[in-house]
Each structure stands twice: as C-alpha cells, then as structure tokens.
Amino acid sequence: MNIEPLSSLDEILPLLTDCNLPISDISAASPPQFFGIQVAGSLVAVIGMETYQSVGLLRSLAVSQAFRKRGLARKLVIFLENFAASHGVDSLFLLTTSAEAFFLKLGYTPASRQKAPQAIQATSQFSGLCPSSSAFLFKHVATG
Ligand SMILES: CC(C)(COP(=O)(O)OP(=O)(O)OC[C@H]1O[C@@H](n2cnc3c(N)ncnc32)[C@H](O)[C@@H]1OP(=O)(O)O)[C@@H](O)C(=O)NCCC(=O)NCCS
C-alpha cells in the first residue's frame, strides 16, 4: 500500500466526515498538504499538514473503519514526519480528542498552549474548532 500525495478534496472530505473530523476550515483555495493510501481505487487512509515556516500542524488523520488496526495510521504519521523534516519543518503540533494515546506511543508529548507558536495559535483548529478539552501535543521532527 503506497502513500501518495492527494489533491482532490472530493475523496478526502467524505472520509474525514465519516471519521468525525472537522472539515469546515479546509479551504479549496489553499488546502493543507494531504497524503493518503488508496485500495482498489478508494481512499482508505489520509493525513494532512498545514505548514507555517518551521512548524507544522498535523491534522486530519483518518483511517476508514474496515482498515483500522493494520498500522496504516502509524505508517502515515511516520511518512508525514519525514516529509515535514525534509521540507524545513522542525516541529509538528496537533490537537486530538480521540487519539491522544496513539500519538503518545509515537513519541508526541504534551505541549503548552500558551507557549505554542503564534502561527499554530492562529489556526482554526487551535482557536476554536477543536474543543478546549483536546489534547495539544508536539514532536520535534528535524533530524539535523
Ligand atoms: C486513530 C486512527 C487514525 C488510528 O488508525 P489505525 O490505522 O487503526 O492505527 P494503527 O493501526 O496505525 O495503530 C497503531 C497503534 O496505535 C494503537 N491505536 C490506534 N488507535 C488508537 C487510539 N485511538 N487510541 C490509542 N491507541 C490507538 C493501535 O492499537 C496500535 O498499537 P500497537 O502498535 O500497540 O498495536 C483511527 O482509529 C481513526 O481514523 N480514528 C478516527 C479519527 C481520529 O481520531 N483521528 C485522529 C485525530 S487527528
């Protein structure tokens, strides 16, 4: 199963909606960078990143029910971390209500909302779309 860059929101948004993830802040004019895994022509897993110079917001990680617990999400996260690091991103931040333990296993650690980079604080997810009870996590991904 290959990971490919995605450009069509038509296949991404239904998967995010099925997985109860927010889509109202995804702009067709300047969408996040999305990657996904297709099986038999259908998108079964997706991950996205908003990039703000040296920091990124990891978002929209979703795997369709039938394909869960096979390591696809972990594979996508590791891919995105490598992509981010090779594109000048030092740290990834994320908000989650449903997968905190998943990300802690992958080396993410709780971050201070007050000390979050300004660009991350300004994202829709940070400033209201995700509930204040969401876990706010980060990981340093730069290799150098
Ligand atoms: C969270 C989600 C992406 C995980 O997808 P997945 O492909 O089933 O995950 P993986 O198979 O790669 O799991 C890797 C490990 O994390 C664990 N894990 C998976 N989902 C988890 C969760 N929600 N909480 C805690 N651990 C989780 C798995 O058991 C596995 O552990 P192991 O290595 O000890 O066996 C999927 O359940 C999903 O789409 N959920 C709805 C959307 C969501 O919550 N997205 C995250 C917010 S950005």
**Which residue lies with its CA nearest to atom 26 of ligand 1?**
102
Question: Residue 123: pLDDT above 80?
Answer: yes
Among protein residues, the one whose CA lies closest to atom 17 of ligand 1 = 102
> What percent of the chain has a predicted confidence (pLDDT) above 70?
99
Task: Give the whole-angstrom CA distance, residue 78 versus residue 139.
Answer: 12
Between the CA of 69 and the centroid of ligand 1 the distance, in Å, is 7
Q: What are phi and psi of 54, to 5 degrees?
A: -95, 5
Number of domains in the chain: 1
Lowest mean pLDDT among 26-30, 51-55, 78-82, 135-139: 26-30
**Paired tokens of 27:** 């702009």
- The single-letter DSSP state of residue 36 is E
pLDDT, residue 27, reads 87
Least confident of 90-94, 106-110, 128-132: 128-132
DSSP helix/strand/coil, 91: strand
Of all protein residues, whose CA lies closest to atom 9 belonging to ligand 1?
A: 73
| C-beta of 128 in contact with ligand 1 (< 6 A) | no
What are the tens digits of pLDDT across the range 12-66? 999 999 999 999 999 888 899 999 999 999 999 999 999 999 999 999 999 999 9
| Higher-pLDDT residue of 99, 128 | 99
Given a cut of 90, whether residue 118 has pLDDT beyond it is yes
**139 touches 109 (CB < 8 A):** yes
Distance 18 CA to ligand 1 centre (A): 15
21 lines ligand 1 (CB under 6 A): yes
The predicted pLDDT at position 28 comes to: 87
CATH number at residue 132: 3.40.630.30
Tell me if 136 sits within 8 A of 116, measured CB to CB. Answer: yes
Where does the pLDDT of residue 73 fall: very low under 50, low under 70, confident under 90, or very high at 90 and above? very high
Q: Which residues span the domain enclosing 55?
A: 3-140
pLDDT > 70? residue 130: no
